[in-house]
Homo-oligomer: A and B are copies of this chain.
Amino acid sequence: MLPKSVRHIDGELWYSVYEGDNASLNYRVRKILHEEQTPYQHLMVLDTYDFGPVLVLDHILQTTTLDGFIYNEMITHMPLAIHPEPKDVLIIGGGDLGAANEAVKYDSVERVDMVEIDEAVVRLSRKFIPGVAGTGELDPRIHILYEDGVKYMAEADKQYDIIIIDSSDPVGPAVELFSQPFYEQVHKRLKPDGIMSCQSLSPVFNMFYLQHIRDVLGLFFNDVKTYSATIPTYNGGLYSFTLGLKKPPRDYKGLEPQGENRYVTPAILEKSFIQPLYVQEDLKMEEIHDV
């Protein structure tokens, strides 16, 4: 039996990812490389014609071989390029290893703790999506803990320079990662000049969640900044990330991403804070209006 998001159409396999009830992106699939129900979620790896092998959790597209670098570079380089000397990095989620691999491009980074609830995500990303997860030995600075990110945040006492919340969407195991108590813990676990970044969904289809994240971060952080990128395989194209910074607001200019990259440049990081007018108006973003 086919997984519910994969169907035969005219003799071909197609995977559909829905945004609400009324729109979907569809990919022609060469083969279902892997399918399992883990203790936490339904997991598939599909070999698509246009985007190569892709990771799908609870039927939502997470990472593709072809454009996975966009999301991973954007969620990681922004906080690391803003921070003057990031040493200790924590990633909550991030099982495809993309964010961890970006973080270790920074010379100052000494240790990356990656707390992923589901070891199957790491195992299968390493096996099927090496373009994102990397090949060969992991960078020795990356330490993977297979644990519940919420539990880790509540119990750990380590302080971090950077915390990246690289979660799936707020369905399934990631729901609590969008809650106020969790962000309060994130704030506590950051050093005085610490910075967090998180994915904050599509401003086109999920403005509710983006606004919620901005409101909740505003309770704890001195500065909250939303930035965006265009990700072809996410519904709506436009995708948002949000920063929480412990220090007072400043101009985030002259940012220098480190390493060999494919999406980010100094200019791309800087311009990603500028949103189309309709997004600014929806978010009442006075602070970046007509920058």
Contact = CB atoms under 8 A, between A and B. Distances in A.
Contact of A238 (B28, B48, B237, B281): B237
A28 B23 CA distance: 6
Contact of A23 (B23, B27, B276, B291): B27
A262 B261 CA distance: 32
Nearest to A238: B230
A264 B277 contact: yes
A67 B21 CA distance: 18
A250 to B, nearest CB: 18
A141 B290 CA distance: 30
A276 B22 CA distance: 30
Centre residue among A20, A50, A230, A291 by max chain B CB count within 10 A: A230
Interface string A8-37: 000000001000111111111000000000
Contacts of A25: 23-26
Protomer copies:
2
Nearest to A16: B26
Interface string A40-61: 0000000011110000000000
Contact of A277 (B50, B237, B263): B263
Contacts of A261: 277
Interface stretch (A89-97, A114-122, A131-139, A265-273): A265-273
25 contacts: A16-B26, A20-B50, A21-B28, A22-B28, A23-B26, A23-B27, A23-B28, A67-B204, A69-B278, A70-B276, A230-B230, A230-B237, A230-B276, A232-B236, A232-B238, A237-B238, A261-B277, A262-B277, A262-B281, A265-B274, A265-B277, A267-B290, A267-B291, A268-B276, A271-B271
Interface of A: 16, 20-28, 48-51, 67, 69-70, 204, 228-232, 234-238, 261-268, 271, 274, 276-278, 280-281, 289-291
